[in-house]
């Protein structure tokens, strides 16, 4: 797993500042090189990247052999685009070639660096999707690029130059269909599937498209960028943002948890026992007392509430005290008549 090779300043990596919209291709430029230069110039003019933040022919190695070279790498944190890979197509590649490029960038975003912790390496080798449980900060791409500020892998832009509307439409259709597993978000695994409409972009490559003609006519800062999988054209930042992503997920999940808690509380309240004697509802303590085995055996009449049970206990204790006092008090002697004087053989007679 090897990573990114930076172009050296002055070796085609940076662009001159005097490229205008009326720039004409020099004799030494082929169509593709000229289109890349014009694309970079339009981005620079819109404040999306400066001369030292635009590099060309940056190599990404998704495997042991093949090297995928980005036509242009944009670094423009001040414009809300910390990093953007750009591929320029001048009708020289068919749609399946672009899908293959997308796949290779996706694969590169799932690699670990060579010095990754052994435990992380073992986890990734344990099953194909294990890399999805590894934070992006621990992956190879973060060694070369800053955080994107959004969910997902490094974003990718396809700029179509000197082409037709029909070819662009066909290419976009192929990217949307054949490249879906690389750019498409997923549903969140949640306990509240009906309440969560947010989408999980964390393992996806954000893909935006435009044409060089639109960039030259309206400017790269205008609403000329379309996000694959969405309708309409937006500014680059808006196209890269995920309003239906993780922030929405957190809000929806918090709301769903609160509603579920209220629903469970209402269900529990509907099941709360009512005292058969006074008609009052049981308190939580009394309800638990009659249902928990270790206390239920001493709960007395389980059909009465806590206060009524307390009255029963008080009466029982009073009765027991009465019995105890009676048992402790000796009986009073009974009244008996004075015994008659006995008369015997030796009594004196008067």
Q: pLDDT tens string for the chain (350 positions)?
A: 333 334 433 333 333 333 333 344 443 348 899 999 999 999 999 999 876 668 888 889 887 678 899 999 999 999 999 999 999 998 888 899 999 999 999 999 999 999 999 999 999 999 889 999 999 999 999 999 999 999 999 999 999 998 888 989 999 999 999 999 999 999 999 999 999 999 999 999 999 999 999 999 999 999 999 999 999 999 999 999 999 999 999 999 999 999 999 999 999 999 999 999 999 999 999 999 898 877 877 888 989 999 999 998 999 889 888 888 888 877 777 665 555 555 554 554 55
Q: 122 and 202: one domain?
A: yes
Any domain includes 33: yes
Q: Do residues 176 and 123 share a domain? A: yes
Q: Which long-range contacts (CB under 8 A, 24 or more apart) does 5-11 make?
A: 5/58, 5/59, 6/55, 6/58, 7/55, 7/56, 7/57, 7/58, 9/52
State the total domains in the chain: 2
Note whether 165 and 19 are same-domain residues.
yes
| Contact status, residue 74 vs residue 81, Cβ threshold 8 Å | yes
Residues 186, 277, single domain; the answer is no
**196 and 286 in a common domain:** no
Amino acid 213: pLDDT: 96
Do residue 146 and residue 282 come from a single domain?
Answer: no
Same domain, 171 and 286: no
Tell me, yes or no, whether 64 and 190 share the same domain: yes
Do 187 and 285 lie in a common domain? Answer: no
Taken in order 314, 318, 320, 321, the sign of the CA dihedral is: positive
Q: What does the DSSP assignment read for 18-62?
A: ---TT----TT--HHHHHHHHHHHHHHHTTS--GGGEE-SEEE-S
Q: Do residues 194 and 290 share a domain?
A: no
Q: Is residue 340 part of a domain?
A: no
Q: Kindly state whether residue 52 falls inside one of the protein's structural domains.
A: yes
CB 220 within 8 A of CB 174: no
> Which among 251, 285, 320 is the end of a domain?
251
Strands 68-70, 81-89: pairing is unpaired
Residues 6+ apart with CB under 8 A from 249: 188, 196, 198, 199, 200
Q: Which domain holds residue 283?
A: 273-312
Q: Flag whether 263 is in a domain.
A: no
Q: Does a structural domain hold residue 147?
A: yes
Say what the pLDDT of residue 53 is: 67
Whether residue 257 lies inside any domain: the answer is no
The residues near 298 (Cβ < 8 Å, ≥ 6 apart) are none
Q: Does residue 341 belong to any structural domain of this protein? A: no
Is 324 among the domain residues? no
User: Do 75 and 207 belong together in one domain?
Assistant: yes
Domain boundary among 200, 217, 251: 251
Q: Which is nearest to 60 in space by CA: 150, 160, 175, 143?
A: 143
The answer on 40 and 188 residing in a single domain is: yes
């Amino acid at each position: 797993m090897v990573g990114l090779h930076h172009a050296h300043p002055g070796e085609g990596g940076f662009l001159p500042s005097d490229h205008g919209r009326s720039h004409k291709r020099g004799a030494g430029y082929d169509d593709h090189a000229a289109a890349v230069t014009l694309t970079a110039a339009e981005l620079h003019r819109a404040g999306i990247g400066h001369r030292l933040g635009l590099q060309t022919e940056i190599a990404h190695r998704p495997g042991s052999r093949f090297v995928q070279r980005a036509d242009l790498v944009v670094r423009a944190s001040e414009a809300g685009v910390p990093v953007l890979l750009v591929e320029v197509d001048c009708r020289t590649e068919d749609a399946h070639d672009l899908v293959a490029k997308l796949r290779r960038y996706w694969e590169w975003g799932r690699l670990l660096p060579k010095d990754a912790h052994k435990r992380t390496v073992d986890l990734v080798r344990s099953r194909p999707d294990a890399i999805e449980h590894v934070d992006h900060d621990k992956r190879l791409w973060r060694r070369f690029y800053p955080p994107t500020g959004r969910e997902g892998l490094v974003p990718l832009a396809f700029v179509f130059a000197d082409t037709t509307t029909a070819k662009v439409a066909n290419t976009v259709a192929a990217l949307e269909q054949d490249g879906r597993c690389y750019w498409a978000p997923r549903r969140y695994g949640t306990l509240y599937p009906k309440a969560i409409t947010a989408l999980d972009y964390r393992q996806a490559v954000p893909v935006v498209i435009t044409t060089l003609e639109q960039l030259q006519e309206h400017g790269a800062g205008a609403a000329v960028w379309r996000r694959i999988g969405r309708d309409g054209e937006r500014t680059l930042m808006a196209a890269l943002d995920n309003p239906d992503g993780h922030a929405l997920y957190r809000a929806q999940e918090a709301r769903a948890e609160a509603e579920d808690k209220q629903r469970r509380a209402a269900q529990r309240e509907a099941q709360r026992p009512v005292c058969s004697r006074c008609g009052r509802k049981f308190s939580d303590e009394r309800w638990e007392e009659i249902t928990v085995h270790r206390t239920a055996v001493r709960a007395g009449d389980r059909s009465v509430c806590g206060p009524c049970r307390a009255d029963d206990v008080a009466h029982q204790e009073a009765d027991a005290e009465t019995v105890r006092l009676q048992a402790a008090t000796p009986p009073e002697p009974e009244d008996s008549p004075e015994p008659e004087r006995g008369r015997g053989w030796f009594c004196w007679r008067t």
